Amino acid sequence: MLRKLSIKNYAIIDNLVLQPDANLNIVTGETGAGKSIILGAISLILGERVDNSVLINKEEKSVIEGYFDVSKNLIFKKTLKELDLDEDDQCIIRREIAVNGKTRAFINDTPVTLPVLNKLTSFLVDLHQQFGHLELEDNNFQLEMLDAVANTIAITDNYRKLFSKYKKIKQSLTETLKQQESWQKEADYKQYLFDELQQAALKTDEIEHLEQHLKQLNNAERILSVLQAGKVTLNEGEQPIINELKRINQQLASITEFVHSVKPIQQRIESVWLELKDIAIELDIEESKVTIDPEVLEQVQQRMDMGYKLLKKHNAKTTNDILKIKQQLEEDLRSTLNINEAIERLIRDEQTLYNNLISEGEKLSALRKKAVPQFIKKINELLILVGMPNARFDIKIEPITPIETGMDTVHFLLDANKSGQFQLLQKSASGGEMSRIMLCIKSVTAKALHMPTLIFDEVDTGISGEAARQVGVLLRDLSQYHQVICITHQPQVAAKGTRHFYVYKQSEKGGRLSTKIKILEREESILAIARMIGGEQPSEAAINNAKELVG
């Protein structure tokens, strides 16, 4: 609820404060006094774009502030929390226009963007200006109004949760199918590569070992020659080294008891002799390993060629690189199988959710259709009261594929002159009629909807007499549930207000005119209403009429 509106240095407003009460606040004043300027200022704190020509004093910034009681506005406080903004029972919304034309918006002194401001203030103020009927022309708004009277809150909430889950799983399925399609294009080739590597059956470091083995085979004769020469020198020939060392060792051993210092030398000779004996044995073993076999050479060469081909094909450097590629191919192929299983599971889950969604959507549609006759009846009754006796209101519901709001699209229709031809509301009603239709709709849905502060700009345009009185009654009834601010030129409407504001112009220093506003006491309000009836100098009859209207 709006507690206070403060406007400084805006258009022809120097400094103005509006403090409405919780019920029906009436704003009157002569044409051109500045009522629309006040609405313009309100629209700025609701997030509208600004024209920098609104500054009176080009050397000072313009400041518009709205003080709202949000203690019972749970959705607003929840949204504040979601946006990480300060939460309190009072919310101050401020819009500043700098001398260079740049604007800034604040919520509880925290700077915010216009989209954030727009979103938050939609939970605070519903500004319905004359000829501003985009909301009424919006099918989502029409659906919201129907849902309000159909009391679909619980089932709508359940449906939206199901739709959200369905949308997510459908998106997940789409993405997974795209992934499968992408993978499938490569799956056959990956399978071929894997099978080739599987058939190759390479072992760890095998290509490197083969390379060494091949070198040995290609140099087998030389290797044998060297090994044999070494073995002959050590163990065979005319004077084998091992035998000579053995003889020297035995001779030295025979004198160690006489020359003790020879003992270490003898031991070293013995150690060398034993080591050379082992070396000779190992040379023999190595000689036995050397193969001079063309078939073995051919086999190793073929295995090597295959290994080199795979290294080149996969742009790898080592056998282990090839084995890693094989492992990755195996994982990719396994993932392809897993993704097929995942798709089957997603399809089943999607179908289950879709069936549940359709079931819940049908229940929602049934509630809406059930509420339509009574909604139509109430609106048509109110249209007669607000001066549209020949108009007939109707609602058309058409089935659609499931969307976030359900399985229906709603169209408000109007036959303005009992022609029997219903057309879309926005095509068959004038601006003034649309304003009154909106008032009727909001009157019917007021109890059901958690509406914010409602502001009406000359909703009574084009009517008078009893119709105007009924508009006043509707506004007063509406104000039992919501704070209402209404700009009017009709005395019948003004008389229903619980607080009467009068807008006027006052001459300032230098002859400049400035818009002012004041709260009228009862007698002042009666006089103002009498002037609306009988002119600037109202007659006694006009004053009595005004008293009668005020009651």
Helix axes 139-150, 319-385, angle to 10 degrees: 70
Secondary structure of 220-246 as H, E, C letters: HHHHHHHHHHHHHHHHCCCCCHHHHHH
Residues 203 and 330 in one domain: yes
Inter-CA distances, 437 with 138, 350, 369, 428, 492, Å: 14, 42, 21, 12, 18
Nearest Cα to 62, choosing from 118, 18, 13, 110? Answer: 13
Question: CA 159 to CA 174: how far, in whole Å?
Answer: 22
At 97 the three-state DSSP class reads strand
At 296 the three-state DSSP class reads helix
Residue-wise burial string across 472-488, b where 16 or more C-beta atoms lie within 10 A, e elsewhere: bbbbbebbebbbbbbbb
CATH code at 113?
3.40.50.300
DSSP structure string for 102-134? -EEEEETTEEE-HHHHHHHHTTTEEEE-TT--H
Residue ending a domain, among 305, 338, 371, is 338
Residues 119 and 202 in one domain: no
Structural domain contains residue 494: yes
Residues 98 and 13 in one domain: yes
Structural domain contains residue 400: no
Structural domain contains residue 356: no
Within a 13 Å sphere around the CA of 463, how many CA atoms are in the beta-carbon half? 29
| Number of domains forming the structure of the chain | 2
Structural domain contains residue 152: no
Question: CA 431 to CA 131: how far, in whole Å?
Answer: 5
Output the pLDDT for position 459.
81
Task: Give the largest CA-CA distance in the chain.
Answer: 162
Structural domain contains residue 370: no
What's the pLDDT tens digit per position in 59-100? 888 899 999 999 888 888 889 998 988 888 999 999 998 888
Inter-CA distances, 274 with 233, 259, 264, 271, Å: 15, 23, 15, 5
What's the pLDDT tens digit per position in 521-537? 999 999 999 999 988 88
Secondary structure of 498-521 as H, E, C letters: CEEEEEEEEECHHHCEEEEEEEEC
Residues 202 and 334 in one domain: yes
Residues 185 and 116 in one domain: no
Question: CA 31 to CA 35: how far, in whole Å?
Answer: 8
Residue ending a domain, among 315, 338, 361, is 338
Q: How many CB atoms lie within 10 A of CB 259?
A: 11
Residues 92 and 195 in one domain: no
Residues 116 and 205 in one domain: no
CB-based contacts of 375: which residues, under 8 Å, 6+ apart?
146, 149, 150, 395, 444
Structural domain contains residue 93: yes
**Burial of residue 185 (number of CB atoms within 10 Å: 0-12, 13-18, 19+):** exposed
Residue ending a domain, among 313, 338, 363, is 338
Residues 120 and 195 in one domain: no
Whole-structure pTM value = 0.67
Structural domain contains residue 137: no
CB-based contacts of 405: which residues, under 8 Å, 6+ apart?
140, 143, 156
Residues 245 and 115 in one domain: no
* Cβ-defined contacts of 164-169 (< 8 Å, 24+): 164/404, 165/353, 166/350, 166/353, 166/354, 166/357, 166/402, 167/404, 169/346, 169/349, 169/350, 169/353
Question: CA 193 to CA 200: how far, in whole Å?
Answer: 11
Residues 192 and 320 in one domain: yes
Tokens at 249, concatenated: 């060792």
At 401 the three-state DSSP class reads strand
Output the pLDDT for position 415.
92
Question: CA 495 to CA 533: how far, in whole Å?
Answer: 11
Residue-wise burial string across 84-120, b where 16 or more C-beta atoms lie within 10 A, e elsewhere: ebeeeeebbbbbbbeeeeeeebbbeeeebeeebbeeb
DSSP structure string for 158-188? HHHHHHHHHHHHHHHHHHHHHHHHHHHHHHH
Residues 115 and 262 in one domain: no
Output the pLDDT for position 497.
94
Within a 13 Å sphere around the CA of 5, how many CA atoms are in the beta-carbon half? 26
**Which regions in the chain score pLDDT beneath 50?**
131-132
At 453 the three-state DSSP class reads strand
Structural domain contains residue 245: yes
Task: Look up the domain containing 281 and give its range.
Answer: 178-338
Across-strand partners of 93?
66, 107
Nearest Cα to 76, choosing from 123, 110, 117, 111? Answer: 123
Residues 208 and 332 in one domain: yes
